[in-house]
A = this chain, B = another copy of it.
Amino acid sequence: MSVKDIAQEFTRLCKEGKFEEAGQRFWSDRIVSLEPMDGPMARSEGLAVKAKGDWWYQNHEVHSAVTDGPYVHGNQFAVKFTMDLTPKTGERAGQRLHMEEIGLYTVQDDRIVEERFFFGG
């Protein structure tokens, strides 16, 4: 598949709300996930990325999600996510939040080997 094909199929699944399926289908076994924060979530790799996703979905109620994209350059593509959500735990538990972020994905050998998130706000 071309990077554009992978970008479009990944984004199509996200637009249908199938974020976990999109990851499972295209993540490399060696996927590295980078978040713009300190602490244990800043960098995770391989199976820990799926575990991070599982934790996230268990601890957030998603009211609505919009996915825009993909936007392609070479072996990378970007996707914009907009979500209204309520954390179930932590210091903002019970507080409805509006979240915008961009995911930047790097493709090698038909798999996503890195995802890097950029936070808005």
Show the binding face of A for B, using Cβ within 8 Å. 34-36, 68-74, 76-78, 80, 100-102, 104, 116-120
Contacts and interface: CB of A to CB of B under 8 A. Distances in A.
Secondary structure call for the A interface: strand
A75 to B, nearest CB: 11
Kindly report how many copies of this chain are found in the complex they form together: 2
B36 A119 contact: no
Contacts of A35: 73
Given A71-B101, A76-B118, 16 more contacts: A35-B73, A36-B72, A68-B80, A68-B100, A68-B120, A69-B120, A70-B120, A71-B118, A71-B120, A72-B118, A72-B120, A73-B116, A73-B118, A73-B119, A78-B78, A78-B118
Contacts of A73: 34-36, 116-119
A59 B83 CA distance: 37
B120 A36 contact: no
Contacts of A69: 102, 120
A99 B60 CA distance: 33
Given A78-B78, A80-B80, A100 B71 contact: yes
